């Protein structure tokens, strides 16, 4: 049952505060991946499962890709006040909704049902309800009523953005908790690494996401992979790649011991060292890309393939004017994104150098990219 209202029946709108600039993390932390999903997607899913109405709060000048389906029915709301602060986000939501809002940070590591229920239950009869660990309040996992708005607006007019100061001038229910584990957010990569080690990151039994970079010859597919893979790794993803070769190839040199193993009649053999392992198997026919990923990339978050232009289940096309081709390879609706320097229309279009943008685009779609 959704805790979308307090015990006395007050409807509450959820607001995901996603307007931060991620200065301390050095990477857009909204796209960091925990347990197989970005912080943005997993926290949006947490709220959507529990509230009838969900708003994503953004700072001025921001746009945010919520992925395929994850943003369905979700409203994005740009701050009415400058400053890119949680206070501006909550005040804008209260003015827009004219009802209580539950505000939660987009970078929280492990939102908890029990904690949410306690904060909601304490709210009736008060202007706000906030978790408290000793003297420390957690304003980014709290309920605010419209009665808080005058104080918030006065603070914003005075260019004061400390949201915790609101609680000293409104009637606030402080809900005691023994520690901050339910409310801990990720500000640095060290904190992210701690959260990832505690969560185990990718859930067991979940297949890797799969996407192929496709394009006509000499379009620069390998160069694009060299740009996007490091950006995916920065987001905490374990990445594998597959290169399609339309011709026969040999990676084991004739005369070497391992080659001689193969020549002896073994159908499969491996070369192993302390740093690398190569597994070579003979095939009667080409193995489909999806089968390669299922067989050899268990435990990976995403596999990026080069090629498989006709058979890959999810394709990003690279079309470069300098390659000398007149038109893209894929027809309308066949590529989920287009990377190009040409003036071509596509809902999800990226420049040739925008590896970070493409990585974020893929990261928020891990769930749909696992469908193959």
Predicted confidence (pLDDT) per residue in 42-55, tens digit: 999 999 999 999 99
**And the tokens for 252?**
């084991």
Q: Please give the span between the terminal C-alpha atoms of the chain, in angstroms, as a whole number.
A: 32
Of the candidates 32, 138, 18, the residue with the CA atom closest to the CA atom of residue 84? 18
Listed by start position, the domains of the chain span: 13-199, 209-369
CA distances from 217 to 48, 317, 319, 323 (A): 44, 12, 10, 8
Which stretches of the chain drop beneath a pLDDT of 50? 1
- Is residue 137 within 8 A of residue 159, CB to CB? The reply is no
Which pLDDT belongs to residue 200?
Answer: 66
Backbone angles phi, psi at 166, to 5 degrees: -60, -35
Closest CA to 123 of 146, 105, 89, 107: 146
220 within 8 A of 324, measured Cβ to Cβ: no
User: For residue 1, what pLDDT is reported?
Assistant: 45
| pLDDT (0 to 100) of residue 236 | 93
Element (H, E) at 78: strand 75-78
Q: Kindly report the pTM of this predicted structure.
A: 0.86
Q: Which of 112, 158, 165 is nearest to 139 (CA)?
A: 165
In this chain, the answer to whether the domains covering 13-199 and 209-369 adopt an identical fold is no
CATH code linked to domain 209-369: 3.40.50.300
Q: How many CA atoms lie within 13 A of 194 on its CB side?
A: 12
**What is the fold, at CATH topology level, of the domain defined by 13-199?**
Spore Coat Polysaccharide Biosynthesis Protein SpsA; Chain A (3.90.550)
pLDDT of residue 7: 56
Residue 318 φ/ψ, nearest 5 degrees: -105, 120
pLDDT of residue 349: 96
| Predicted local confidence at residue 201, as pLDDT | 61
Helix (H, G, I), strand (E, B) or coil at 300: coil
27 vs 348: CA distance, rounded Å: 21
């Amino acid at each position: 049952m959704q805790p979308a209202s307090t015990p006395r029946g007050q409807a509450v709108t959820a607001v995901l505060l996603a307007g931060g600039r991620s200065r301390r993390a050095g990477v857009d932390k909204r796209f960091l991946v925990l347990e197989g999903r970005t912080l943005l997607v997993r926290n949006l899913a947490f709220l959507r499962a529990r509230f009838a109405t969900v708003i994503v709060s953004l700072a001025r000048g921001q746009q945010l890709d919520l992925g395929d389906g994850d943003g369905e029915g979700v409203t994005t709301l740009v701050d009415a006040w400058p400053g890119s602060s949680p206070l501006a986000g909550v005040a804008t939501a209260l003015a827009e909704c004219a009802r209580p809002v539950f505000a939660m940070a987009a970078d929280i590591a492990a939102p908890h049902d029990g904690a949410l229920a306690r904060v909601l239950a304490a709210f009736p009869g008060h202007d706000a309800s906030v978790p408290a660990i000793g003297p420390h309040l957690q304003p980014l996992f709290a309920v605010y009523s419209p009665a808080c708005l005058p104080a918030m607006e006065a603070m914003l007019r005075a260019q004061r953005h400390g949201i915790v100061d609101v609680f000293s001038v409104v009637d606030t229910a402080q809900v005691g908790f023994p520690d901050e584990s339910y409310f801990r957010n990720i500000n640095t990569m060290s904190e992210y690494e701690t959260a990832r080690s505690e969560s185990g990151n990718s859930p067991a039994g979940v297949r890797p996401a799969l996407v192929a970079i496709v394009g006509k010859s000499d379009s620069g597919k390998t160069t694009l992979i060299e740009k996007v893979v490091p950006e995916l790794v920065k987001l905490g993803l374990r990445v594998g790649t597959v290169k399609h070769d339309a011709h026969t190839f040999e990676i084991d040199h004739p005369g070497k011991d391992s080659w001689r193993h193969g020549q002896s009649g073994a159908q499969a053999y491996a070369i192993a060292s302390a740093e690398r392992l190569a597994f070579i198997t003979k095939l009667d026919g080409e193995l489909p890309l999806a089968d390669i990923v299922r067989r050899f990339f268990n435990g990976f978050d995403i596999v990026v393939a080069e090629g498989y232009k006709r058979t890959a289940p999810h394709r990003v096309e690279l079309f470069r004017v300098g390659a000398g081709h007149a038109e893209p390879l894929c027809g309308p609706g066949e590529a989920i994104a287009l990377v190009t320097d040409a003036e071509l229309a596509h809902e999800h279009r990226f420049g040739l150098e925008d590896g970070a943008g493409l990585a974020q685009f893929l990261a928020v779609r891990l769930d749909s990219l696992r469908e193959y």
